[in-house]
């Protein structure tokens, strides 16, 4: 191949590959975008090595690794504190810290059944989901409920 074509492949590989790796950092799991990004980066590094030699290739590799590290850092930070932490993609505990320190906090409060309770399911009180079980009655999704007690890891409820 002529040097112009190799330079073009190298530049396109670096730009698109880096973009795909950054996109992959914000998508759960390791999928097609990440694999394609890594393959494009490897092709770009190979073209760089053929055209410019070892030292520029090692510098390009260091730049790619810094970019990947920055993308991982930003996605981790976003998953813990930023907009991604408020997403449904990030798994969280269903009970708040106030509930862990005072488990009886929810007793006597009213909420809504998020799932059908037959007799177990989930309820929501003030935007917080809690595991709950009725006293044996079937409660439809969306029904208003009242928390009457706590047994182990779930709350006992009744239809309001």
Quick: pLDDT tens for 17-60: 888 887 887 776 668 888 898 899 999 999 889 888 999 999 98
From CA 74, how far away is CA 82, in angstroms rounded?
A: 9
Closest by CA position to 155, among listed 126, 125, 134? 134
CB of 43 closer than 8 Å to CB of 9:
yes
Examine the domain organization and report whether 10 and 59 are in the same domain.
yes
Q: 92 lies in a domain?
A: no
Q: Tell me, what's the pLDDT at 99?
A: 44
The percentage of residues in the chain with a pLDDT greater than 90, rounded to a whole number, is 18
Q: Tell me, what's the pLDDT at 86?
A: 59
Q: Where are the alpha helices (DSSP H) in the chain?
A: 3-25, 32-52, 54-80, 97-101
Domain boundary among 47, 66, 86: 86
Q: Tell me, what's the pLDDT at 59?
A: 93
Examine the domain organization and report whether 62 and 125 are in the same domain.
no
pLDDT in tens, 120-135: 889 999 888 888 998 8
pTM for this entry: 0.47
Query: Measuring CA to CA, how many Å separate 25 from each of 31, 37, 75, 95?
Result: 10, 11, 6, 28
Q: What is the CATH number of the domain that holds 152?
A: 2.40.50.140
Q: Tell me, what's the pLDDT at 137?
A: 80
Q: 19 lies in a domain?
A: yes
Examine the domain organization and report whether 62 and 16 are in the same domain.
yes
Examine the domain organization and report whether 107 and 61 are in the same domain.
no
Examine the domain organization and report whether 70 and 104 are in the same domain.
no
From CA 67, how far away is CA 117, in angstroms rounded?
A: 48
Task: Report phi then psi at 89, rounded to 5.
Answer: -75, -25
Q: 143 lies in a domain?
A: yes
Examine the domain organization and report whether 7 and 82 are in the same domain.
yes
Q: Tell me, what's the pLDDT at 67?
A: 80
Q: 144 lies in a domain?
A: yes
From CA 147, how far away is CA 39, in angstroms rounded?
A: 55
Q: Tell me, what's the pLDDT at 93?
A: 52
Pairing mode, if any, of strands 144-151 and 128-134? Answer: unpaired
Examine the domain organization and report whether 105 and 79 are in the same domain.
no
Q: Is residue 102 pLDDT above 90, yes or no? A: no
* Average confidence (pLDDT) over 105-122: 88
Q: Find the domain containing 69 and state its range.
A: 3-86
Query: Measuring CA to CA, how many Å separate 67 from each of 22, 25, 72?
Result: 8, 11, 9
């Amino acid at each position: 191949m002529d040097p112009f074509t190799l330079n073009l492949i190298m530049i396109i590989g670096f730009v698109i590959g880096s973009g795909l790796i950054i996109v992959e950092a914000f998508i759960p799991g390791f999928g097609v975008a990440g694999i394609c990004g890594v393959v494009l980066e490897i092709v770009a590094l190979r073209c760089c090595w053929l055209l410019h030699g070892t030292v520029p290739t090692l510098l390009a590799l260091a730049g790619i690794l810094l970019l990947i590290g920055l993308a991982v850092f930003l996605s981790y930070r976003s998953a813990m504190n930023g907009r991604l932490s408020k997403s449904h993609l990030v798994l969280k505990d269903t009970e708040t810290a106030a509930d862990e320190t005072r488990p009886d906090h929810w007793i006597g409060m009213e909420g809504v059944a998020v799932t059908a309770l037959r007799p177990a399911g989930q309820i929501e009180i003030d935007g917080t989901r809690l595991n709950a079980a009725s006293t044996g009655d079937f409660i439809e999704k969306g029904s208003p409920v009242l928390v009457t007690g706590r047994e182990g890891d779930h709350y006992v409820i009744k239809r309001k």
